Each structure stands twice: as C-alpha cells, then as structure tokens.
Amino acid sequence: MGNKIAVGLLGLGVVGSGVIRIIEDHQKKLAHQLGCEVQIKRVLIRDPNKDRNVSLQDGVLTTNPKDVLEDPDIDIIVEVMGGVDEAYEHISQAFQAKKHVITANKDLIALHGPALEKLAGQHECDLFYEASVAGGIPILRGLTDGLVSDQIHQIMGIVNGTTNYILTKMDADGATFHDALTEAQKLGFAEADPTADVEGLDAARKMAILARLAFSSNVNLQQVDTEGIANIALADLEYGKQLGYTMKLIGYAKDHDQSVEVSVQPTLLSKTHPLAEVKNEYNAVYVNGAAIGETMFYGPGAGSLPTATAVVSDIVEVIKNIQLGATGRRVTVPQFNKGAAEPNQCFSQYYLRLQVGENEEVFAAVSKLFLDIGIRLEKTVQKPGELILVTESTSLENLEQIKQQLVQLEHVNGIAGCYRVEGEEGQ
C-alpha cells in the first residue's frame, strides 16, 4: 500500500462528486488518521461530454469499466452509479480481482445483500454500504458495531426524506398531496418520477436492510408490507391532529423470535413520540433493544455531502482493515432465516374513519361488532356522516376481520381511512 491508497469510482453523479470533494477537502485529516494519502485514481462515467462540478486530472475519467476494475493499483471500488444488474456485475468482478467494495446502492443491497456478503467473504474482501440507508446517519454501523452486544427487538424509522417533506407540508400547511409533491420537486427533494418514494418502495428497501442487520435474518424485499402516501386524505390528517397524532410514513420492523414483521405504511404517531418531531426532509431511526432500551438516530437522510460522508467513512474503515490485515472478516451474513410474521402475531392500535348514514343506531351497531370480534375502542368521534374510531392494541388478523364485516353493516357506507397508530403510552 505504501503511502498512498488508490480508489476507483463507478459513477460521478451527486454522490460521486461529493465523495471527491470530501476526499480533496479533508486530505490532510485523512492522511493524519491513516498515515497515507487517499487518491481517486480512475472514475467510470457514461457521458464524457457532461459538465462536472469537480475538477480531475487528465486520464482519470473513463467510459470503460475495465479501466477501473482491472487496474492493479486500485484497492477499493466505490459504486455510486445506481441500478442493480450492472452494479452487481461490476461488484462481483471487483471481488474476483481482490478489490474491496463500498456502495451507496440501497436497491442492490436490499435485493442481493446476502449474496454479495457471501461473495466478499469468499474472496476475503470488505463490503460496506453505510450510505445505502438514511444518508449521513450512521445507523448501519450503529447496529453492527455500537449495538452489536444488544438484542434488538424493534425498529421504527422515517427513512425517506421526500415523503416526510410532503407529509410535513400537508400536516402543517394544509397543502394537498399534489401541491406538496410539486414543491418538493422544485426544491430537489423529489425526483421527476417520484414513484419509488411516494409508493413506499424506497423506504421498503431500506427497511429490508435494517431488519436484516438488526435481527441477523435473511429478510427479503417481498416480506415488507408496503403502502405509500398518495391516497392520504387531508381529513384524516386533521382528525389525527385533533386526536393528538401526526401522520408519518413509518418503516416498522419487529423480531418475533421465529419470524420477522416488516412494513412501510402511513402511520398516525402520537405527538409525544420523538419521531413525531422529525420534519421536512430529515430522517430518523428509533431503535428498541433489550439492554439499551430506546435510542434514536437523527439527521439528513440524503444529499450529496451527507451521503458522501458515509461513503468516505466506509473508505476509512476499509483502509484501516487493510493496514491491520483484517479485510474480509466483517462479513455480516445473516444467522437466521426467519419468515414473515403471520397477521395474528402483528399487533398495533388502528385509526378508522367510517362513512355512515344518518341513523341513531349506527354507533351502537358498530360498537357491538367491535365487541363481538374482541376489539376494544379507545377513542371515538362522531361527525355528521362520519364515525372516527381508534382501537386499543389488536392483531392485524382482527383488523382485517372487522374491516370485512364493517362494510356489510347497514348504514355503514364505506371505510374512508384506516391507519396504524403508534407511540401511545403503554402501547
């Protein structure tokens, strides 16, 4: 390695540019910590004519992946190009060439994380992906290092800044979903195609990664029950505020010993819960462990420099492992293979808004139905044409049963809103 270690970069977008800027700006600090210089030797790009916001020496940029992956001087590959299939192929080639890999690619890790961990171990290489979840928040290292001695029971998180910004505007300003999304796009918090964000897919990928590490189980993306925010009505946000809640898109993961419950869904959070105060584009992950109790990680969940900071931290970790001769020993292959929890294992409170006819008997009929199924009601609000209910903790199985039977009741015209409720005292 000598007094210099060479890094190859796959991709030069927002995050890749941030990585170069941080390495250049912090070179003296890095050299002091590591005893060697960190050099960006080659960078793979798709369009050589595109304007870049970083300056590089002649010969650094290339459109040929082999120039990066087969360069014998490069020890570390940083993948920030995005996509799945091409990125997987490049990373596999890097391991075969005995190069260590750092990626910010949540899609890739959510889908193929265990397979890549196994491949890294076979070639005695490091694979780190701190930047794949919650940008600059060190949540993955927190789980695998800081809380490694604890038994994690549950994780709740706001892990998508786009949806949190939209919901903040809807809740605070009464903006419609469309208007809040348009503003988020103008400010750069949402993509031109926001589908992955607003439908909860981005958050689902991150929760699969978090659950996999927290519970050491091979959680796959298909196990994540996912619902987005596009159909949230302002009426439910307003009723929620009156009842002491605020709406957030919450990623939820709970260990049930032999199974794992993982979901992403709009959730009414008690305003006393710490996550309720996480606003705009910020992210936060709330962790509950047997020893630590409750702790929260909070910060910017995206952006060039916050995400790049996580990437460079992984670079530092790999270099330290190289210096110690300890590469390939941090592979986090899941210990268990737990399936998805059954509906009768998953418990929560629930908010329901029913559209009802003008009949004096409707509340009594609805209350009796809940009682017959064994669901106790904690809060009820009756409005002209509407009935708002908050249950005590009950199973998802019971919820599905009550929903099926409610719409069959006379004078109940439909279920206008149904959301999980979290954060109540004693829940």
Phi, psi at 349, each rounded to 5°: -85, 160
Edge-to-edge strand list for the sheet holding 74-79: 61-62, 37-44, 4-10, 74-79, 100-103, 127-128
Does residue 147 lie in a domain region? yes
Does residue 333 lie in a domain region? no
Amino acid 89: pLDDT: 97
More confident residue, 269 or 333: 269
Ramachandran class of 13: left when φ > 0, alpha when ψ lies in -120 to 50, beta otherwise: beta
Does residue 337 lie in a domain region? no
List helix spans (H) across 45-192: 65-69, 85-96, 106-122, 139-141, 161-173, 177-186
Phi, psi at 289, each rounded to 5°: -125, 160
pLDDT digits (tens, 9 = 90+) for 10-26: 999 989 999 999 999 99
**193 and 122 belong to one structural domain:** no
Classify burial at 345, counting beta carbons within 10 Å of its beta carbon; exposed 0-12, middle 13-18, buried 19 or more: middle
Span between the terminal Cα atoms of the chain, in Å: 54
**286 and 319 belong to one structural domain:** no
Using the predicted structure, report yes or no on whether residue 1 has a pLDDT greater than 60.
no
Phi, psi at 20, each rounded to 5°: -65, -45
Beta bridge pairs of residue 269: 246, 422
Does the pTM surpass 0.85? The reply is: yes
Does residue 267 lie in a domain region? yes
**238 and 277 belong to one structural domain:** yes
Does residue 331 lie in a domain region? no
H or E segment to which residue 391 belongs: strand 386-391
Question: pLDDT-based confidence at 184, cuts 50/70/90?
Answer: very high
| pLDDT over 90 percentage in the chain | 85
- The count of residues in the chain is 427
**101 and 119 belong to one structural domain:** yes
Q: The dihedral of CA 130, 135, 136, 137: what is its sign?
A: negative
Q: Residue 304 corresponds to which tokens in the numbers above?
A: 């060039």
DSSP structural state of residue 382: E
CATH code of the domain in which 172 resides: 3.30.360.10
**225 and 364 belong to one structural domain:** no
- Mean pLDDT, the chain, rounded, equals 94
Nearest Cα to Cα of residue 108 among 128, 134, 82, 90: 82
**250 and 376 belong to one structural domain:** no
Beta bridge pairs of residue 419: 351
Give the CA-trace dihedral at 169, 156, 214, 84, to 10 degrees.
-30
Q: How far is CA 302 from CA 132, 157, 259, 345, in A?
A: 10, 15, 31, 34
Amino acid 50: pLDDT: 87
Does residue 64 lie in a domain region? yes
Does residue 338 lie in a domain region? no
pLDDT digits (tens, 9 = 90+) for 321-357: 999 999 988 767 778 889 999 999 999 999 999 999 9
Mean pLDDT across the stretch 78-105? 97
**415 and 395 belong to one structural domain:** yes
Find out whether 112 and 133 touch, Cβ atoms under 8 Å: no
Amino acid 80: pLDDT: 96
Amino acid 2: pLDDT: 61
β-strands 74-79, 100-103 pairing: parallel
More confident residue, 136 or 226: 226
Beta-carbon-side half-sphere exposure of residue 54 (alpha carbons within 13 Å): 22
Beta bridge pairs of residue 217: 336
β-strands 347-356, 74-79 pairing: unpaired
**258 and 359 belong to one structural domain:** no
Helix (H, G, I), strand (E, B) or coil at 215: helix
* Planar angle of CA 27, 100, 149, nearest 5 degrees: 90
Does residue 108 lie in a domain region? yes
Mean pLDDT across the stretch 171-186? 94
Q: Residue 315 corresponds to which tokens in the numbers above?
A: 């670079």
324, 358, 390 - which closes a domain: 324
Mean pLDDT across the stretch 17-43? 94
> Residues with catalytic annotation?
206
Using the predicted structure, report yes or no on whether residue 63 has a pLDDT greater than 80.
yes
Using the predicted structure, report yes or no on whether residue 49 has a pLDDT greater than 90.
no
C-alpha–C-alpha distance, residues 4 and 23, integer Å: 13
**114 and 180 belong to one structural domain:** no
The number of folded domains in the chain is: 3
Beta bridge pairs of residue 251: 157, 264
pLDDT digits (tens, 9 = 90+) for 237-266: 999 999 999 999 999 999 999 999 999 999
Amino acid 302: pLDDT: 79
**27 and 106 belong to one structural domain:** yes
Amino acid 248: pLDDT: 98
| pLDDT over 70 percentage in the chain | 99
**282 and 166 belong to one structural domain:** yes
**295 and 308 belong to one structural domain:** no
Amino acid 425: pLDDT: 59
Mean pLDDT across the stretch 184-208? 94
More confident residue, 198 or 359: 198
pLDDT digits (tens, 9 = 90+) for 379-422: 999 999 999 999 999 999 999 999 999 999 999 999 999 999 99
Using the predicted structure, report yes or no on whether residue 426 has a pLDDT greater than 70.
no
Domain of 28 in residue numbering reads as: 4-135+304-324
CATH code of the domain in which 117 resides: 3.40.50.720
Burial string for 87-114 (b: 16+ CB within 10 Å, else e) reads bbebbbbbbeeebbbbbbbbbbbbbbbb
